Structure 1
């Protein structure tokens, strides 16, 4: 493969867009240097770049695409809506129908408000909780990401420009550690507890979510579930339905629109109405976005709901994911790399781990694996699949992994990626400095 045109376009993007991408997780520093495909189209589980290279894609739009790229019923629904106009000065009928569809899926919620990004709705949930409780402190689980907004990013390494006093209002607790939740709630006046009910790698321990629910009730804190990833991957009803624990508020996005921009804040009426017209309290400026209710994304969401009701996409994702995990792990074992390359996680939300010769997680070795998978026609920072991944796609991915393992084994034997990895290793997306992938330098 060559990446001449993609590399030219990536360089141009760095001149025009800070970071060379509009999402840090899509940045060139997340991929091997000079192997950063700039995509022109996708269909099903495959994408094509500006050089004509074809890839089987994983990650699927940062987990936002579960039905496959250019899934026709969603496109048709959005096109039909657009033909009637996309944005008006009053609500459209689609706002009623989409809200009814959403609330029929999430029986623990009384009201919903749509927006465009996950950060919009997580921050709106925090605002509601603060208004409802009269408190400011947020207890956030030690998951990697909740929002681009100050209340969360202020506590990360990439906190330049955020006053420390804002960051100090967010405290952390550990997932599956009920004692850490109890400690935070007993030592702080907490407005909201926010967490993912489960992650790709970790299921809730018996009694953990129920315990968090009880602690929030006891201390008067608002319980918020982030369903960005779990919603429409664990279940179209959310992880809250899988585990049987109902939050006060829940935040949704990603796969809701199969790639169309839509998110949702849902929850109990007494909280949601603080941003409405049926309250005697001071009103919360909740969500008020020009493009929040545009018709194309609402119609796309309704088509997604129909697909989940008629086609079992979660079942297809899980079947494909199980085959993929078994096949790649078998290829790893064949290459003698079981201790170094593994596929883990929920079948519909798989990740791969990469370790060095000492068995320690390694960015250079991760980059080598990404490089070799790209060379063999697979693009992805994970093995998160979609319902469009066919048996042929899975078989081709396993073959690509088997070929990548041959190079990886050489690096393990040598104890280094030197001579095998082209360019610098990838770096964490959220980090304090541009180094070690600063443009125009070759520092390691």
Structure 2
């Protein structure tokens, strides 16, 4: 298949004159012409040239119910007719907050934001205000937004990142303010010995440990059995808050997020993406004793678009479906995800291509590697990422869209026929690499 991209090329040429880098997010940079979407519905997107794709990017995860689910679209349209922005309270935010607290194990209080980076920033400020400590421990390979204080050691060059057991903080961009790394401790993921050592070394100084409970910004890496429970116990022992960054895993792995899926309850949680079906809504949720430092005015949290009514309308419609139809929704997500994973593994085996397919199911990762497991960032960095970029391009030519680094998101709209078609395209793509 050779796609016609004439309109896309013209748009990109114009975009490069007026948009810095030609795209509006660094995550959309590509070696060739980026994808210009005209419309999306269900499990498919159509580009401006009329090409159609089975979509496993789903807006980087938010379209859990597929693109443009009717109940969400109807709720958004109805709210737009009533008002777009109030900068005042409204009834829907109360209903959504109540539902989040009912669904999520750690949620006793909620504050809304617009994007994930904001909610992370609020969580870290709150942790420091509550504990009166300054240091934050984050894990190598974990991404918590693009703001300066946490944009360290996400995908660093391994030769700059220090020893595997004791990583150093590597800034993610030019222009980061000097000194932010002074209060940041970098730890390898899935290494309990290293975490214990670091927390003992900095005893009484660490406000919070922040983690993706399933690492989805570097592969789709699940915690080792017992690992997060041990992290929880270490945090309790040291008087340190445990923060789960559930921007990706929240509402995707279970109605209560990865914390329900894994059975570990953090002190604070950060949600976004899937909670509003694609509208920009994020949330900070947590235990009342901690969140009430915001309630009391001790820790500042503000924003013109916090609980913006159109986004909240989308969140209310989305969460109602996820909560009230949970068995059907999550049964479908896991079944379809596991079926696609099995099909991709079988195709790679038949082609003699060394590939690992791993992850929970509603989100998973393909890796070009001989390894039997990928447990942390260093393992991920050792996989053939250049080959994954080539696979992404080959799949686009065959009408399949995945996240370029090899991540796949499932929606309730992906059918058995879609999975069969995807495996066929994948098989054909492997033959060209």
When normalised by structure 1's length, the TM-score is 0.84
Given the alignment of the two structures, is residue 26 of structure 1 paired with residue 51 of structure 2, yes or no? Answer: no
- After TM superposition, give the deviation of residue 237 of structure 1 in Å: 0.4
SS in 2 for 1:224: strand
* CA–CA separation in structure 2 for the residues paired with 1:151 and 1:157: 10
CA contact (8 A) 2:259 2:266 kept: yes
Moved more, 347-356 or 90-99: 347-356
Larger radius of gyration: 1
1:101-116 equivalences in 2 (<5 Å): 101-116=99-114
* CA–CA separation in structure 2 for the residues paired with 1:267 and 1:313: 25
Given the alignment of the two structures, is residue 198 of structure 1 paired with residue 223 of structure 2, yes or no? Answer: no
- After TM superposition, give the deviation of residue 363 of structure 1 in Å: 3.7
Aligned to 2:426: 401
CA contact (8 A) 1:355 1:361 kept: yes
Aligned to 1:426: none
Aligned to 2:384: 362
CA contact (8 A) 2:357 2:367 kept: yes
Pick aligned residue for 1:319 from 325, 335, 352: 335
How many corresponding residue pairs?
A: 395
Aligned to 1:16: 18
- After TM superposition, give the deviation of residue 316 of structure 1 in Å: 1.2
Given the alignment of the two structures, is residue 373 of structure 1 paired with residue 395 of structure 2, yes or no? Answer: yes
When normalised by structure 2's length, the TM-score is 0.86
Superposed CA RMSD: 1.9
Aligned to 1:47: 45
- Note the residue ranges of structure 1 that are not aligned, 5 or more in a row: 409-444
- After TM superposition, give the deviation of residue 157 of structure 1 in Å: 4.3
- Note the residue ranges of structure 2 that are not aligned, 5 or more in a row: 153-168, 371-381
- After TM superposition, give the deviation of residue 22 of structure 1 in Å: 2.4
- After TM superposition, give the deviation of residue 273 of structure 1 in Å: 1.7
SS in 1 for 2:98: helix
- After TM superposition, give the deviation of residue 161 of structure 1 in Å: 1.5
Given the alignment of the two structures, is residue 387 of structure 1 paired with residue 412 of structure 2, yes or no? Answer: yes
* CA–CA separation in structure 1 for the residues paired with 2:411 and 2:211: 24
Given the alignment of the two structures, is residue 178 of structure 1 paired with residue 192 of structure 2, yes or no? Answer: yes
Moved more, 123-132 or 324-333: 324-333
* Deviations 1:43-87, CA, capped at 9 Å, x for gaps: 101001111111111121111110000111111111112211122
* CA–CA separation in structure 2 for the residues paired with 1:355 and 1:7: 34
SS in 2 for 1:74: helix
Given the alignment of the two structures, is residue 3 of structure 1 paired with residue 5 of structure 2, yes or no? Answer: yes
SS in 2 for 1:303: helix
CA contact (8 A) 1:126 1:192 kept: yes
